[in-house]
Amino acid sequence: IPIENIARHLDNHGIAVRAGHHCALPAQRHFGLEGTVRPSLAFYNTYEEVDTLVQVLHGLPRP
């Protein structure tokens, strides 16, 4: 699934993420990745928010 589609799907559900190389292009190339999607979690995120992230990821449309 293209990272742009993942980021758009999460955004449509109110979940903010970053998609791209994240200043780690050599590492991503090493692992054969085109890019990654990164949520910014912190101590103030709730278990419910993390559960929602996981549920929305499980609901991604498959190609």
Q: Is 23 a catalytic residue?
A: yes
∠ at Cα 27 (58, 35), nearest 5°?
40
Q: Which of 14, 16, 23, 30 is catalytic?
A: 23
- For 12, the token pair is 């449509």
Catalytic residues, which ones?
23
